[in-house]
Structure formats: C-alpha cells, structure tokens
Structure 1
Amino acid sequence: MGVYERDPEWDDVIPLAQDDGEGALAAIAYTDEYAEAMGYLRAIMAAKEYSPRVLALTEHIISLNAAHYTVWLYRASTLFALDYSVEAELEWVNKVALDNQKNYQIWHHRQLLIEHLYAKISSDPAAIQELADSETAFMTRMFAEDSKNYHVWSYRQYLVRKLDLFNQKELESIEVLLRTDVRNNSAWSHRFFVVFSDPKLSTPGCKATEVDPKIPEDIIDREIEFAKAATFETPQNQSPWNYLRGVLRKGGRKLSTQECFAGEFVKIPEDREEDVKSSHALDFLADVWAETGELEKAERALELLGDKYDRIRKNYWDWKKSLLKEASLQEKMSELKTG
C-alpha cells in the first residue's frame, strides 16, 4: 500500500494511472513511489483542484524528479490560486536549485514567481531593491558552486531587465566574479549586456553586433580601458580580447584604433624571430592590418598563427588567408576597371 493510498487526507481521490497506449514499445519503469504520486496528481489536475495538499504533493514529486515541467506549472498555478507567499516559495526553491544545479524548470518557475511578485511591488522602490538584493545574493551562492551555470546567467539577464538593474551595483557584482576568474566568459557576456542594453543609454532593438550611436562616448572609452586592463593581466585570455572587439564594434570604432595596444604583445621584426606574448593579439593585429589594407602583414600574422601559435586551428587560419587573397584580387580588378 502506497503513501497516499493509506493517507486519510487522500481518501476522496481516485488516482489515474498513466496511459501509454496499447502495445507501448518503451514504457518507462517508474518507481512505485513516483508512479503512485503521479497518479494522484493526474486526478487532482483533472479535477482542477488548487489546495494546500496539492503543494505538498507537487513538492514530493519534485523531490523525486525535479525536471517534470508539468508538475512545476501546476504547482505555480496552485500557488497563485491560493495567494501563497512568494517569498516562502522562493526560500524553498533556493534549496531545490542548490540540489539540482543544471535544472532548467526551477528557473522558469522562479521567473513566474518574480512576475507574480513584481506586479504587487512595482510601485515600491524599496521592495524592488530588497528583492534585487536577495536574488543577487542567492545567485552568488549558485555561482560559488558553478560560476558558468547557463540557467543562472539567463535568469540574471531576465532579472536585470525586469527590475531595471542596469546600474553600477550590478557592474560591481560582475567585477567581483571577474576578479575571481578573469576567464569567465559568462561574466564578460553579462557585463556587455548590462552596459550596452540599458534602455536609458541604448537604441531599442539594436543587436549586440550592431553599432549603436546612442551609446555615450565616455562609456565606450571606459569599457575599452576595462578590457585592456584585463588583457594586461592575462594576455592569453581570449575573453577580454573578444570584449574589446565587441566594444569597438558597438562604438563604431575601427580595430586599428587599438593597433598600438595590441602591438605591445606582438613584435614581428624583419631581421629576427618574432616575439608573441598572445596569439589573440596576433589575431587582432591580423584583422587590423586587413582593415588598413596591409595585406602582406596580415598574411604573415595568419601564417604564424596556423604554423606556430595556434596550429590546432590551422585550417581556420588558412581559410582567413584565402579571404585576404580574394580581397587583394578584387582590389586589383577594381583598379584595372578604373585605370
């Protein structure tokens, strides 16, 4: 006899068994405990019951299988129907999330909770700030377990948009993570999002890879310096180099404006062996020289990358060299036509 079958509180419910259809080829072998609990939930859902015992039932099922999307959705519907404390639910969800690091359904449920709560506190700045602080504190705990957890970072972007956390405090929080691990590309991506998606300073609908003339020049300058400082710390870290490229593109500035900076990590004299402290700087310079029309220098940089400094991607560097040759050929043909 199962837990629910012998519980008087559930005497009024007749469980519904799962129907896999006739001749099911791959029926899942559920445990008796899970199968019984789901049978009672199916009956509850069919009756459209929203009650405290439903919360207890869904909590039990989630403890057995935290990835069951339907269970989470019905739990949320029950919470809202009962006007249950969102704060109390968040406390419980925190524990479940810490025990299920890679679970997506938890974060969707959390987002539903925030939407519901925000509707009640949207006119109270103090309450919004308190919520932001508590959520940030919890995400910090999650990042201590896995600083690159995709679900947490996705939720963080949602929270920044929802609570308008495009502010210095959010940037400082990300800087703490970058000081811990300057190679955390997730943190770099989030910084880019916070800086360049602020609706007060950016053009609505502008894509991450597009120039945004609305972004103030001083912010572009600040982010360039931030990326350069991180690059000096770890020259062979690709993240700040990518960030630098993104900032320059967003500000409508050419890569060649940072040629001298990249040149501090790469020396290619004609009379002796090159000195390369960062393959990413060499890649950056190859694009700079392609941009300025110095195709021989660009080709030399790409040869060094393919033959010596990044041989595992030799085919990629050879492909980039072929693009240079195509560009050179097109330029010569254009000169002949206009000559």
Structure 2
Amino acid sequence: TVREFEARWERKLWLSCLAVESWAFRERRARQQRGEVERTTGEGVVVTEQEVFAEGRRRREMAALKRELYGGGVGVEGKLAGDPEWDDVVPVVLEEPEGALAAIAYPAEYAEAMAYLRAVMQAKEYSPRCLRLTEHIIAMNPAHYTVWLYRASIVFALQLPIPDEIAWLNGVALANLKNYQIWHHRHLLVENYFPTIAGDPDAIAAFAASERDFLRQILAEDTKNYHVWSYRSYLVGKLGLFGSAEELQAIEAMIDDDVRNNSAWSHRFFLVFSNPAHATPGVAATEPDPKVPQAVVDREVAYAEDKIRLAPQNQSGWNYLRGVLVKGGRKLATVEEFASEFVTGLGQGDGGEDVLSTHALDLLAEIYAEKGDKEMADLSLRRLGQKWDRIRVGYWEWRRKCLETPA
C-alpha cells in the first residue's frame, strides 16, 4: 500500500542518515589514529568513550533496520560487526561447497563469531579483545577445542594471572560437567603456572587446597566424572601430593559418604601405591611391589575390611582388598578368616547355608584353589551358580571347568 511504501521509504532515509553519522565516526577515529589535530582548536583529535558508545548503539539500530529492509547476513549486521572495536578485522566467512551433502546450519551469531575468530587466528593476534571473543564462543559451544587452544595461547602470550583464568574456568566447568576440553585447558594452565610456584612450598599448599576445594564442589555434582578424577590424579603427581594427609582425608571422606564410589577407591589405590616414597618405578598396578612397606599393606587391608563390613555386597571394597594383597605380595589365604565372616553353612542346603556376600564366596573359591582344596573350590563356585548368583551361572560353570585344567 501507499502507507507501507512511505513507511519503508522513511526507514531507508533514516538508515542513510545513520550511515552518514557512522561514516563520520570512522573518519574521525582514522584522523585520531593518524595523529591529526582539530582545525578549530589545534588540539589532537580524540574519540571519546561516549562517541564509541553512541556508535555502537547506532550500528545496532542500523543492523535492525537492514534486517527489516533487506534481511540479515553473517558477519555484516551481527553483534561483532556492530562493534567499533572490530572495525579493523575482515571476517573470514566459512563458505560451504555448492550442493554440500551435510551442510551445517550454524546460528547466525555463532557463524559470525567464528568468522571473526578465523580472521584473528590467521593474523596470530593475541589481545584482550580476542580473549573476550573466545569467551563469547565458548559460551555458545564449550566443546570447541580449537577455541580453547587459542584461548590458552592468548593467556600465555599476554602473561595473564593463571589464578584469575582458573577462577573463570571454575564457573564454566560447573556449568558443563561432561566437557573434556575444560579439563585439558586446566591441565595446560597448571603446567604453565607450576614453575612459578615450584620453589615455594606454601604457595603449592595453597594452590593444592584451592584446587581440592573446587574438586570437592564439582564431584558433589557428579561423583564419578572421569575427567575430574583423571585431572585429580594428574594434580597429585604434579604437585607431589602422594604423601598429603589432606588429600587422603578428602578421599576417605568421599568413601565414607558413599562406600560404593569406585572412583574414590581407585584414587585411593593410586594415592597409596603410586607414592614414589615406597613404589618401585615401572611396576604395574597389578604387580607385587616389594618396596611397599608391610605396615602400609596392613593399614590398607584393615581399611578395606572395615568398609566391606559396611556393605558386604559392594564390589569396590573387595576389588581394593585384592589389589592390596597383590601389591603386598600376600596370598589370598591371608584373608580367609575375614571372607568366611560372610559365608556360613556352605553346602548345607537352603536351611543352613547363608551368604551375605557373593564376592566373599568368590574369593573363598580362589583361596581354596590356591590351597589345593579343589573340592571346596568347586562347591563354592557351584553354589554361586545354583543359588547366590544365578544370573551368571555360565561364568561360574566356566570357572569350575578351569579347576580341572592344570595350572
């Protein structure tokens, strides 16, 4: 209609006016960069913060008018294109091949940000605005590993305080629990930061305490997060926390809270039996280590037994107990009396037989086999398949056949 045409013409006219004002701003800033002076006062040209703010608002209005009049476009009317700070950057727009079989429909804001990221990465620019750009992209796609690597390069190039970056990273990690790139970035930060505190035991202790506090927070959200536990193992080795009473107490608290937390049990085993103070280099976790003090083995056997009594059918404690015996070079028979606490009246039928833990009966079968008592070993395995763990009857029958095979 005529009215719609007039309204559109008015918007186009207003857009032209804004474009002239925007051109005047860019020209004035160019004069400032060239060091020119004002013609009326003779003083140097200065672009004020108010003028920059007004230009940003002007560009947003222009972008809205362009979208209304002509439609949008990546890297032309977006958030960054409307920011005077990015005027000197020509975005590198990703162009999909014509007829691409699986073209990705990126959101316009993300596509624009990536276009600017490609440009600054090609220019090898490491600046505060690039750091802010990575934060902007990470907020949209926290799994973009290239952005994380570029962010680390910026942090190191600008020599920014690592604790500040870690503090920012904590919030991102809590919001993205299953993200691996976050923990790789944290690893790189610690590698860069540690040499600066390596000679200061107090600084190491303070950093370890702050990391332990954060790990407590994130594990409270996801107690068995593989990335977090992997990082925790790395941190123990990097900061030399094998002998840390605080680290051991923290893990004991987690096991007390959930005795079935296999991740916490695994970390305790690493903490105790990978300690350089009493671990032979090169000895695998599943191999005996004569360097481990028997007092440590006694302590860990007692610890495992105490926790098993709390939840006899929890496999974590039994696996830990087996691992401790292997490390200490002890036979399984050394815990026969303990395992027998959970099995009574074996072979006496349903009326007299009681098994509180199938793991205990499984261990007893191995103990009997170790002692050469194949009859009791066979009985233990048979009752597991017939009564106490029937869902795995095929496995227990296979174990029985193994008794007949010479070792």
**Structure 2, gaps ≥5 residues long:** 1-76
Superposed CA deviations along residues 273-312 of structure 1, whole A, max 9, x for unmatched, are 3111111101110111111111111111111112221122
Q: Are 1:235 and 2:312 counterparts? A: yes
Aligned to 1:337: none
Aligned pair partner of 2:132 in 56, 69, 84: 56
CA distance in 1, matches of 2:303, 2:165: 39
Aligned to 1:296: 375
CA distance in 2, matches of 1:24, 1:87: 44
Aligned pair partner of 1:283 in 337, 362, 365: 362
Q: How does 1:1-339 map to 2 (within 5 A)?
A: 1-21=77-97, 23-167=99-243, 168-272=245-349, 273-327=352-406
Return the letter of the residue paired with 1:309.
W
CA distance in 1, matches of 2:167, 2:250: 22
Superposed CA deviations along residues 136-176 of structure 1, whole A, max 9, x for unmatched, are 00000001101111111000000000000112221111000
Q: 1:228 to 1:15 in 2, by over 3 A?
A: same
Question: Runs of 4+ in structure 1 displaced over 3 angstroms?
Answer: 19-23, 268-273
Q: CA deviation at 1:23?
A: 4.0
Contact 2:347–2:383 (Cα < 8 Å) also in 1: no
TM-score, normalising length from structure 2? Answer: 0.79
CA distance in 1, matches of 2:287, 2:96: 50
Query: Identity of paired residues, percent?
Result: 59
Return the letter of the residue paired with 1:219.
V
CA distance in 1, matches of 2:98, 2:278: 60
Deviates more, 1:161-170 or 1:96-105: 161-170
2:405 aligns to what SS in structure 1?
helix
CA distance in 1, matches of 2:367, 2:346: 17
Return the letter of the residue paired with 2:198.
S
CA distance in 1, matches of 2:405, 2:281: 37
CA distance in 2, matches of 1:90, 1:65: 19
TM-score, normalising length from structure 1? Answer: 0.94
Superposed CA deviations along residues 79-124 of structure 1, whole A, max 9, x for unmatched, are 0000011111111100000000000000000011111110111111
Superposed CA deviations along residues 7-35 of structure 1, whole A, max 9, x for unmatched, are 11001111112255454311221111111
CA distance in 2, matches of 1:48, 1:256: 64
2:91 aligns to what SS in structure 1?
coil
Q: 1:270 to 1:135 in 2, by over 3 A?
A: closer
Aligned Cα RMSD in Å? 1.2
Higher RCO structure (Cα 8 Å, ≥6 apart): 1
Contact 2:346–2:380 (Cα < 8 Å) also in 1: no
Return the letter of the residue paired with 1:77.
S
